Structure 1
């Protein structure tokens, strides 16, 4: 490879320096990502050629996006990974299987695109152990969607690998593509460089005024300068270019390409049209199609005109040349060419491409072609190519003559578009399906689809009625989907924050109980629905025992396929909300959330892993392990960012409140308020009331705690009412609002009586003790509360009960006993880093006459949450590859973090980790259970 800049790269000194630094870092073992953005023809591809040519000692792999209506799932990713597929067998089994299914090398369950992304990350990382790897992707905005999403995931997970990704993205077409990654934005060449390029492209000496005018008219666009001057003499250019539309350089260049077509022989123009209609650039296929069309495959005139390069593959000089060729042809010419390409394509080797070309050749409805497209869509789905499935089904629906079949295919296309995160297309296809005759079962599917679309856009009240209607339709048809849809409707009402009302959770529960719907096929899910609907419809005295009966089957359900695992994972939030807020069952919360994390990791379901991590982080908060909770929240946020999801804020709010970090809590509260307003997620208002109650009770600002907790109680939500009652009882007691306190205590007793868990009994006993006048009875209740809460390891509430008990003992002048309880509370909260409650306990100890030392300043080199998590897993005996698979990182990134851990902890190897972590206070905790 050349060690100097390409001879036709004029100017671009800053851009070359940026790319040279990417290569220099790559050779030092550092990763890099750059997204080169600019208008058409501005020189993005030339910069890719430059960085590839300069990459001596580096393995270079390329992929090229092609503008085409056809979407071949994973095609671009396969192109990029092709040089490394010989090492695919060495990948960890789940990653290997996912990649082989995606690339059509094996059969299996449709892979999660993020697991495929991890496989690609591992594949590139392993290749970089021999030589650094540079992957260049031109016109990334035209990659097939699943390849683009996967490469974006890989780009966001690169950190310490000798791998660099350099993309080009065109303005306008690429708006919204690869947003947030490091960019290199380029504009037109400066005046000297543009003039130099123009003079090098034209025969004869140019008059400076003419040169400067052309540079100004093209705004220094290199492609415009070269192509608009091609074949013209300096004298001809002196008459100037048509600058009537100075804002559309690309249009003018495309028009120039189109003008060149007129001078070509007819057979050459037809050959170019075949090449433009076939996005893969397969030269052999082009020759077969040319033979079927009866034309000579003579590309020499097109090459001479600067339109195409013809070798093992066919490549247009620029994407604008391809689009000019295709747009200049009339509809009949295009159909004729696509028909030849369909006939030339092997139906056994490339059935999907053959079906697509046949579809483009159709001039009207054709059931044979539509059926072939539907089969191609099914193959795309099996490979996990939901975007390709959606596009193929959409085209199949358009070509279907029978209105019943057209409606069915349009509905399937809409469902696929929603799964591929394209809700706008889903809405259009749903509208088309609605205009067609549909079976009652398909009408139910359409209603559920519309409910899901609304739920994906907004967590408000609109989705639940549609899901409820869909469930009723399924039930009327005796479909096993009815019960699953009732659970979805209840989930929608939970987020909408409504229990009562015509479309609240209780209305859905009553409908589910009276629907007579058949079993769903999953006994565990059916028992869960029975438990939740009984709770909502009949109350806690019947509902909680029904939930208890559902726990064991649901927690240990055998999941034989990826689809079954995903259905279970999607049901977990409703189960967790029920066991947390109505059963008061911390061990169940731990068991379900830890299984959800483990299952999501095992099948690579990164779409649901952040939610599972957040729920499991909530367990750690109640265990008093705030460090472990922080690690899980940080990982959830990182994965959400890498996968394009909105961050989950519930655990962040709760953790900030228990830490007593008012500034962090206020930021989280404001984010929650905005999200509630934007997405209608009213349930956030319920959690806000609870967490502000915790925060202000910890800060001893009881009037503010009283007002906040009251909003949590008054909010008509499925969750957080009971926890808000606990905060309200304490705040009302300290404010002297005893009538309010007793009213909330009565409701709390009612909510916890059926639960009969250590958490429920302990929290009830402590709240009763606050309002008990009998000293002996209060003392007994406080001790009982500590015992009960300790039984379920609700550590934050154990510490808080010691604090409240100590405060009470001080008030009745039992100072020695008070000191003991307050010391325990202070020690526990201090070890958790719970700032507000630690300070509250310290003040109480001072009031008893005891001197209390304050915590030393935190060490300068504290581990970050991710470093602590990696260190914990390494201390537990996990290898770097296993840790990487757990956390969706490469082994190189794991080792990079570990080296930083060793420096911060002043150790030299992982053998020293367990003792160092214990000394530093990080500990190994319970995170490995996840």
Structure 2
């Protein structure tokens, strides 16, 4: 049984005993790092279980590795990125190697430069890149002790990094009492009590005299093998009690267990030493100069540190260190409220106001005995700095504390409202509601009341994806109208967006038509209209005045999205702009806007926008027949959703599987998406699932099934992006299913829309659908559809036009002409990967006496899904850093996977990828 003895304050004491299983797990982790792999481990256990000792142990055994550490401190939980900065500080000299957006995000987060608040996930990518770069020289081991006391922003970023590690030779070990949601699902090592034999050995090592076996067994049983308890509890027993005897049955361990023992030991210290421990416990930095400056203000003598070291509680050397985090906690809580306030007041006075204003403000807040407007104002300024660094959680904490220190009811309500807004940005929605309730209980002016209503609506949208949000957003927009026309217009557009997502599942008064009607009657800003204003006007007209009447306004709105419009104005509106481009059947503009949406989301680091941007781009690529490129986008959507926690329905994945004719895969995606959308109140997700079902059915020849699904989706005409295309599928499915009446009705509605817009794409699709129902005019319409669609980028639509024309020609017994069209359709569909439609063309071609080239099944290459994704992006010319940024991986992990790809494919360079991948 291994035992290690370590010196502290001139004394020797056992710090580590047993733990064979735990040590083996940690040794395996270090071995993996040395082999070039990355590992994450959550070491969990109750206070005193030995988590810190295990982290110390792995640091000692990690020879050849670089070790960086951070330890959470309870008093620092509200200082933005404090923990992350402590961990990364030794590595920041390497930040210059990071891509510019990531480097600037880190510099802003750590207060090293000013700039717009960075996206939390962009900071995460920066930290991932920093750790990966440092590990190129030698394996890097990151130890995060007392993770539960890290600030919220640091917790979130480190959890993001933990889930994206791959082949960087980076180890991330968390020591934590009870893991929070951010660590859920990561590998765990549970640290319980020591086995009996090891517990007895530890007791024997710490006690100077032999221990009565019955007393020993009782201590082991009642401490449950907790190492710190085993060391502390015997200190409260007299030599007689330790020796056993007739008094043993009445022996009772000291009340309060380990904490009680520590509290008594601290109480036995000289007064100055106790006060010094409180100062050290209240300061999270461990800076001895700061502690001694504060101690001097309290009149604490310089020799007060000696008894603390002799009692084996803390040392005051190059750094101030407590024997165990529990000692810090007990020392702080042992002091009275007034003593703690005195300590924080001294620390505030000893803290440099210029170098560390936020920590000084926090100490001043802790020192306040009651409301203090001066301190509240300082906290408010700290909140502004935290917000500028992307620390919404820290800003919320500062503002919340400022509100409690504010006497004036008007200021208190305003600060509580600002705190609620910051909590919402930080994702703490329950706390935000509490802050909002406090704000609403005080006097709010008109603008503040409108902000409160807007916030309550946004919280409802987050919780429910649209059932309740549109009416609440509408109320907020109306209230804002006479106060802030610009913000009112933005809120109307947000309400309309929420209503479009909720679709058929919207609450009464919150559907697209109701919201659009209210937006259309709202007053407009006096200044020149922005892209947002034009888009709102066009969409409001679409839902209230109809398609034909709104077309000019919709086209003006799209024309406003020019190159000269700032990115921060375009980005929030681009998903709606893409939906409008699709609605007006403008394939060139859709191509431009969908590409710009992805580019701006990536360049600005707006990773919350990225899943929707990628999904929109994937749909354009599907229409364009670029299924492999669309598949890359779909894979990126999955990676972005995993990294950001976004719960977007798998729109692109459903359509891709349907066009490929992968029935089993598509069915699973469709059923899952429909169930999730129903639960979230996302009606547009139901329509998308029905459209995918129709596409799949038409490809496989399951026409009744396709007709039923397309009919359901087409019935919801306000669902932009699905209703028109469901109608197209409905015409074909109904005609093939023998329901000509349904097909005629659907075509009548389609022709009204396509005739109004008049684009080649719209007219080509209308002609193709009309040819199915025409008599003598059918051939002209088939040829017209091919001609018009041939002028567009919509290759899937063109291939299907050739297929329908060939099928008509075969039925007209014009086999030679039919073979030409069907062979063209088959070749196009086969090349694009639309397997089900290609097989349908092949069957028709065989019926004409022709032969379709035998389909060559893709050669199994053994690549995993992630390797395939990386290989595609490398084939398309992206560098390792660019691939890493898209997939939320480090460059080193990308290189590792590419090496495996080359080996599996039998190639030696990126240039060869184009020859071996589809």
Normalising by the residue count of structure 1, what TM-score does the alignment of the two structures yield?
Answer: 0.93
For residue 69 of structure 1, report the CA deviation from its aligned partner.
6.3
Provide the rounded CA distance (Å) in 1 between the counterparts of 2:251 and 2:634.
55
Among 574, 577, 581, the alignment partner of 2:576 is 574
For residue 64 of structure 1, report the CA deviation from its aligned partner.
0.7
The equivalent of 1:927 in structure 2 is none
Note if 1:584 corresponds to 2:585.
Answer: yes
Among 461, 470, 495, the alignment partner of 2:467 is 461
Provide the rounded CA distance (Å) in 2 between the counterparts of 1:586 and 1:240.
88
Among 185, 194, 214, the alignment partner of 1:189 is 194
Query: Do 2:697 and 2:706's aligned partners in 1 also have CA atoms closer than 8 Å?
Result: yes
Among 741, 744, 752, the alignment partner of 2:743 is 741
For residue 427 of structure 1, report the CA deviation from its aligned partner.
0.5
Aligned runs of 1:712-751 on 2, under 5 Å?
712-715=713-716, 717-719=718-720, 720-751=722-753
The equivalent of 1:545 in structure 2 is 552
CA change 1:521–1:339 in 2 (3 A) is: farther
The equivalent of 1:379 in structure 2 is 385
The equivalent of 2:307 in structure 1 is 301
Partner SS for 1:34 = strand
The equivalent of 2:700 in structure 1 is 699
Note if 1:437 corresponds to 2:439.
Answer: no
Note if 1:392 corresponds to 2:398.
Answer: yes
Query: Do 2:81 and 2:109's aligned partners in 1 also have CA atoms closer than 8 Å?
Result: yes
For residue 380 of structure 1, report the CA deviation from its aligned partner.
0.7
- Root-mean-square deviation (CA, aligned residues, Å) is 2.5
Note if 1:639 corresponds to 2:646.
Answer: no
Aligned residues: 904
Provide the rounded CA distance (Å) in 2 between the counterparts of 1:638 and 1:882.
14
CA change 1:832–1:295 in 2 (3 A) is: same
For residue 462 of structure 1, report the CA deviation from its aligned partner.
0.5
Q: Deviations over 1:210-267 (max 9, x none)?
A: 4333323222222222222346467534577999999xx9x63222222222212222
Aligned runs of 1:625-664 on 2, under 5 Å?
625-664=626-665
Query: Do 1:683 and 1:717's aligned partners in 2 also have CA atoms closer than 8 Å?
Result: no
The equivalent of 1:328 in structure 2 is 334
Provide the rounded CA distance (Å) in 1 between the counterparts of 2:470 and 2:542.
18
For residue 24 of structure 1, report the CA deviation from its aligned partner.
1.6
Aligned runs of 1:314-393 on 2, under 5 Å?
314-393=320-399
Partner SS for 2:509 = coil
Answer with 335-344 or 842-851: which moved more.
842-851
Partner SS for 2:166 = coil
The equivalent of 2:482 in structure 1 is 476
The equivalent of 1:892 in structure 2 is 892
Provide the rounded CA distance (Å) in 2 between the counterparts of 1:691 and 1:549.
31
Provide the rounded CA distance (Å) in 2 between the counterparts of 1:507 and 1:103.
46
Answer with 210-219 or 720-729: which moved more.
210-219
Note if 1:219 corresponds to 2:224.
Answer: yes
Query: Do 1:660 and 1:698's aligned partners in 2 also have CA atoms closer than 8 Å?
Result: yes
Query: Do 2:27 and 2:58's aligned partners in 1 also have CA atoms closer than 8 Å?
Result: yes
Partner SS for 2:17 = coil
Answer with 404-413 or 751-760: which moved more.
751-760
Among 27, 30, 37, the alignment partner of 1:20 is 27
Aligned runs of 1:855-866 on 2, under 5 Å?
855-861=855-861, 863-864=863-864, 866=866
Partner SS for 2:67 = strand
CA change 1:255–1:854 in 2 (3 A) is: farther
CA change 1:299–1:102 in 2 (3 A) is: same
Query: Do 2:640 and 2:887's aligned partners in 1 also have CA atoms closer than 8 Å?
Result: no
Note if 1:414 corresponds to 2:424.
Answer: no
Provide the rounded CA distance (Å) in 1 between the counterparts of 2:110 and 2:679.
39
Provide the rounded CA distance (Å) in 1 between the counterparts of 2:472 and 2:28.
55
For residue 376 of structure 1, report the CA deviation from its aligned partner.
0.4
Answer with 370-379 or 788-797: which moved more.
788-797
Note if 1:290 corresponds to 2:283.
Answer: no
Query: Do 1:136 and 1:165's aligned partners in 2 also have CA atoms closer than 8 Å?
Result: yes
The equivalent of 1:796 in structure 2 is 796
The equivalent of 2:11 in structure 1 is none
Query: Do 2:538 and 2:553's aligned partners in 1 also have CA atoms closer than 8 Å?
Result: yes
Provide the rounded CA distance (Å) in 2 between the counterparts of 1:521 and 1:78.
44
Note if 1:525 corresponds to 2:553.
Answer: no
Answer with 688-697 or 620-629: which moved more.
620-629
Provide the rounded CA distance (Å) in 1 between the counterparts of 2:475 and 2:253.
54
Query: Do 2:76 and 2:151's aligned partners in 1 also have CA atoms closer than 8 Å?
Result: no
Note if 1:58 corresponds to 2:59.
Answer: no
For residue 876 of structure 1, report the CA deviation from its aligned partner.
5.2
Query: Do 1:204 and 1:233's aligned partners in 2 also have CA atoms closer than 8 Å?
Result: no
Query: Do 1:203 and 1:233's aligned partners in 2 also have CA atoms closer than 8 Å?
Result: no
CA change 1:834–1:244 in 2 (3 A) is: farther
The equivalent of 1:839 in structure 2 is 839
Answer with 252-261 or 721-730: which moved more.
252-261
Provide the rounded CA distance (Å) in 1 between the counterparts of 2:251 and 2:766.
80
Provide the rounded CA distance (Å) in 2 between the counterparts of 1:812 and 1:183.
69
The equivalent of 1:205 in structure 2 is 210
Answer with 376-385 or 808-817: which moved more.
808-817
Query: Do 2:76 and 2:150's aligned partners in 1 also have CA atoms closer than 8 Å?
Result: no
Note if 1:132 corresponds to 2:139.
Answer: yes
The equivalent of 1:925 in structure 2 is none
CA change 1:534–1:170 in 2 (3 A) is: same
Provide the rounded CA distance (Å) in 1 between the counterparts of 2:139 and 2:251.
46
CA change 1:513–1:242 in 2 (3 A) is: farther
Provide the rounded CA distance (Å) in 1 between the counterparts of 2:250 and 2:795.
77
Query: Do 1:631 and 1:865's aligned partners in 2 also have CA atoms closer than 8 Å?
Result: no
Provide the rounded CA distance (Å) in 2 between the counterparts of 1:479 and 1:8.
65
Runs of at least 5 residues in structure 2 that lack an aligned partner in the other structure? 7-13
For residue 484 of structure 1, report the CA deviation from its aligned partner.
0.8
Among 256, 265, 268, the alignment partner of 1:260 is 265
The equivalent of 1:682 in structure 2 is 683
Provide the rounded CA distance (Å) in 2 between the counterparts of 1:687 and 1:901.
35
For residue 424 of structure 1, report the CA deviation from its aligned partner.
0.8
CA change 1:72–1:847 in 2 (3 A) is: same
Provide the rounded CA distance (Å) in 2 between the counterparts of 1:921 and 1:93.
32
Q: Deviations over 1:653-674 (max 9, x none)?
A: 1112112222112221232133
For residue 520 of structure 1, report the CA deviation from its aligned partner.
7.9
Among 451, 454, 471, the alignment partner of 2:457 is 451
For residue 905 of structure 1, report the CA deviation from its aligned partner.
3.0
Normalising by the residue count of structure 2, what TM-score does the alignment of the two structures yield?
Answer: 0.94
CA change 1:257–1:500 in 2 (3 A) is: closer
The equivalent of 2:9 in structure 1 is none
Provide the rounded CA distance (Å) in 1 between the counterparts of 2:38 and 2:586.
45
Q: Deviations over 1:308-366 (max 9, x none)?
A: 23223222222222222222322222222222222221211111111111111112221
Partner SS for 1:204 = coil
Query: Do 1:637 and 1:647's aligned partners in 2 also have CA atoms closer than 8 Å?
Result: no
Among 759, 764, 767, the alignment partner of 2:766 is 764
Query: Do 2:76 and 2:149's aligned partners in 1 also have CA atoms closer than 8 Å?
Result: no
For residue 611 of structure 1, report the CA deviation from its aligned partner.
1.8
Provide the rounded CA distance (Å) in 1 between the counterparts of 2:449 and 2:250.
56
Provide the rounded CA distance (Å) in 2 between the counterparts of 1:707 and 1:680.
22
Aligned runs of 1:773-852 on 2, under 5 Å?
773-774=775-776, 777-852=777-852
Partner SS for 2:74 = coil
Provide the rounded CA distance (Å) in 1 between the counterparts of 2:157 and 2:72.
14
Partner SS for 1:606 = coil
Provide the rounded CA distance (Å) in 1 between the counterparts of 2:878 and 2:852.
41
CA change 1:277–1:522 in 2 (3 A) is: farther
CA change 1:180–1:888 in 2 (3 A) is: same
Provide the rounded CA distance (Å) in 2 between the counterparts of 1:119 and 1:638.
17
Query: Do 1:476 and 1:517's aligned partners in 2 also have CA atoms closer than 8 Å?
Result: no
Partner SS for 2:312 = coil
Partner SS for 1:554 = coil
The equivalent of 1:928 in structure 2 is none
The equivalent of 2:709 in structure 1 is 708
